[in-house]
Homo-oligomer: A and B are copies of this chain.
Amino acid sequence: MNRKDNVTQDEPSGPLMADVARLAGVAISTVSRALANPGRVNEKTRAKIDAAAKQLGYTPNAMARSLRVGKPNTIMIILPGSLYYGASQIIPQVLQSINKSLIKAGYNLMIANLDRDETSERYILDLAFGGTARGVIILSSKLPEVDGRSLAQAGLPVVSMLLDMSDAGTPSVVTNDRAAVRAVSRELVGLGHRRFFYLAGPEGNYHDVERYAGVVEALAEAGLGEDAVVRSGGSLDYQQGFRIGLEGVADFEALENRPTAVIATSDDMAISFMSGIRKLGLRIPEDVSVVSFDGSPVCAFCTPPLSTIEQPVEEMGQAAAALLLEAIENGPPTPASCTVVPSRLITRESMAPPALSR
């Protein structure tokens, strides 16, 4: 069956390089060169080829190319179990930022979702070992690993985002969780607060460890012990932020000597917490100051407008993409680097001096 017949096939596959070559009256390899290295071919023939390609509406087959070259142009991004939180747009923003950077460099973004089950891990590993991915950006804490195969052994450049995994040899891009929380805690101390309430993410989680450490360090600086802060939450995931906040309200209410300042480790927690606290008849910030982490735009419209530590997602995405591209070009940095992009506190009306100290 002739190639030219393919218009009438049931599976039309578009014009091939061979078609372009025929139309331009040159060899197929010349077409390849003209398209890839326009410099290494006669100006005149190149024009002929370009014309032929345009006329046929030719698009090179990316898979054939990748197969031959041995280097796919797909980057895999491994996202945590759930892509969405209550209000923050961290994941979509990161996705967008990374995608933009990668496209500019000629790569495609394939998304993979790392649930905690074997199926999804196996799926990811197939992508990695099956020659589909050229590199990986991971937003989850654990490198996929199942029956002997581990992402670490796939020979692929891997960059971690949001979590610092540089100790484990994976170059990372994070924000300064600890320092940012330390700074805002310091600010609360400066306002006169002496008793704190901390809304925690899952205990042991990187973010929670870092952020809590920030609080404790600030307190220590002020001569306060860890008993100046009572922790709430700790068992639920960040995706459950609203629930953590709500349960926090109950914990808070039950407290004998109530804290005057609340540090929430996500906007979701703070938002539901504030809502519950106000229902209790307590005022924010008069009775209790609140500050949180993430920087969701919606915080500006909360009652009252919520102070929040804004994560530099855009920049982190760019940095991660750059790091990965660099690793693809020149191999991974040794030792694994950790790029930290600072967060920025957005001060709004939810923080004030405690009523008692007035």
Contact = CB atoms under 8 A, between A and B. Distances in A.
A314 to B, nearest CB: 11
Interface in A90-125: 91-93, 95-96, 99-100, 103, 108-113, 120, 123, 125
A50 interface: no
A119 B93 CA distance: 20
Given A129-B59, A242-B300, A83 B93 contact: yes
- Contact residues on A (Cβ < 8 Å of other chain), bracket: 35 or more
Indicate how many identical chains form the complex.
Answer: 2
Contacts of A82: 96
A149 B59 contact: yes
Interface stretch (A11-19, A136-144, A332-340): A11-19
A187 to B, nearest CB: 24
A204 interface: no
Contacts of A51: none
B303 A303 contact: yes
Interface stretch (A30-38, A62-70, A163-171, A226-234): A62-70
A111 B123 CA distance: 17
Contacts of A45: none
Interface stretch (A195-203, A251-259, A271-279, A287-295): A271-279
User: Which 7 pairs between the two chains have the least Cβ-Cβ distance?
Assistant: A59-B129, A84-B89, A303-B303, A83-B92, A275-B301, A84-B92, A62-B130
